[in-house]
């Protein structure tokens, strides 16, 4: 699966094929997009910022670029996940149950949901914190193997992985522009300025 090629593939190839949606009749069945492509389209439509990486070196490089672009330092960052703390150990993040004073949360997730471009998270990542109590800025670290088609598929996966103790506080983030909170269509949802660092692992 090469998400990068799908995102930045050759324009000429697309133009030459001439099988655009406009040329299909309105009663033709909808073309079923691959999971990764569908997620990319919906995630970007939701306002998320997407960085695809082939290696951990690229992940660290993109992470540094995000920090410098926003003038964030390690003092601004909260990371509640021990494995992620280890992966980014050179930064020496604050690893506490309280992220109230942080500007940014670095976190893994349960799944990336293709049909609505959402990020599925649980108490495994954010403990018992409510989304509103966490910083407005998120950097989510995920791998391509975490892509699922639907929330239902993601929930089944969580249940299968955590048979002894199913996590609580399961929720999705699907609005990635802070100003959207003022829109009545997103009332009651928590918008986050969200970057996704996606590592190819398939």
**Residue 23 belongs to a domain:** no
Query: Which residues, 6+ apart, have CB-to-CB distance to 97 below 8 Å?
Result: 80, 127
* pLDDT, position 23: 62
Q: pLDDT digits over 17-68, tens only?
A: 444 545 667 777 767 889 999 999 999 999 999 999 999 999 999 999 999 9
pLDDT tens figures, 59-78:
999 999 999 999 998 888 99
**Domain total of the chain:** 1
Asked whether residue 39 is assigned to any structural domain, the reply reads: yes
Residue 1 placed within a domain? no
3-state secondary structure the chain: CCHHHHHHCCHHHHHHHCCCHHHCCCCCCCCCCCHHHHHHHHHHHCCCEEEEECCHHHHHHHHHHHHHHHCCCHHHEECCCHHHHHHCHHHCCECCCCCCCCCEEEECCCEEECCCCEEEECHHHHCCCCHHHCCCEEEEEEEHHHEECCHHHHHHHHHHHCCCCCCCCCEEECCCCHHHHHCHHHCCCCCCEEEEEEECCC
Q: What is the CATH number of the domain that holds 165?
A: 3.40.50.10420
Looking at the domain assignment, is residue 106 inside a domain?
yes
pLDDT in tens, 108-141: 999 999 999 999 999 999 988 888 889 999 999 9
Q: Does residue 18 belong to any structural domain of this protein?
A: no
Residue 17 lies in a domain: no
Expressed as residue numbers, the domain containing 120 is 34-199
Q: Which band of pLDDT confidence, cut at 50, 70 and 90, is reported for residue 11?
A: very low
Q: Does residue 21 fall inside a structural domain?
A: no
Can you tell me the distance from the alpha carbon of 119 to that of 194, in angstroms, rounded to the nearest whole number?
A: 10
Nearest to 199 by CA among 33, 61, 48, 47: 61
Q: Identify whether the C-beta of residue 173 lies closer than 8 Å to the C-beta of residue 190.
A: yes
Instruction: Check: pTM over 0.85? Answer yes or no.
Output: no
Residue 3 lies in a domain: no
């Amino acid at each position: 699966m090469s998400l990068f090629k799908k995102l930045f593939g050759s324009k000429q190839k697309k133009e030459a094929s001439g099988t655009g949606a406009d040329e299909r009749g309105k009663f033709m069945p909808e073309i079923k997009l691959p999971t990764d492509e569908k997620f990319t389209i919906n995630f970007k439509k939701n306002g998320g910022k997407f960085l695809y990486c082939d290696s951990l070196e690229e992940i660290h490089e993109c992470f540094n670029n995000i920090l410098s672009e926003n003038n964030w330092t390690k003092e601004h960052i909260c990371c509640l996940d021990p494995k992620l703390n280890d992966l980014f150990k050179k930064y020496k993040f604050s690893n506490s149950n309280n992220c109230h004073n942080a500007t940014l949360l670095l976190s893994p997730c349960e799944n990336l949901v293709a049909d609505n471009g959402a990020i599925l998270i649980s108490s495994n990542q954010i403990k018992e914190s409510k989304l509103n109590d966490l910083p407005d800025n998120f950097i989510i670290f995920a791998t391509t193997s975490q892509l699922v088609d639907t929330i239902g598929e993601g929930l089944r996966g969580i249940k299968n992985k955590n048979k002894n103790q199913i996590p609580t506080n399961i929720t999705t983030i699907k609005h990635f522009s802070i100003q959207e909170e003022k829109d009545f269509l997103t009332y009651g949802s928590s918008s986050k300025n969200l970057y996704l660092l996606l590592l190819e692992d398939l």
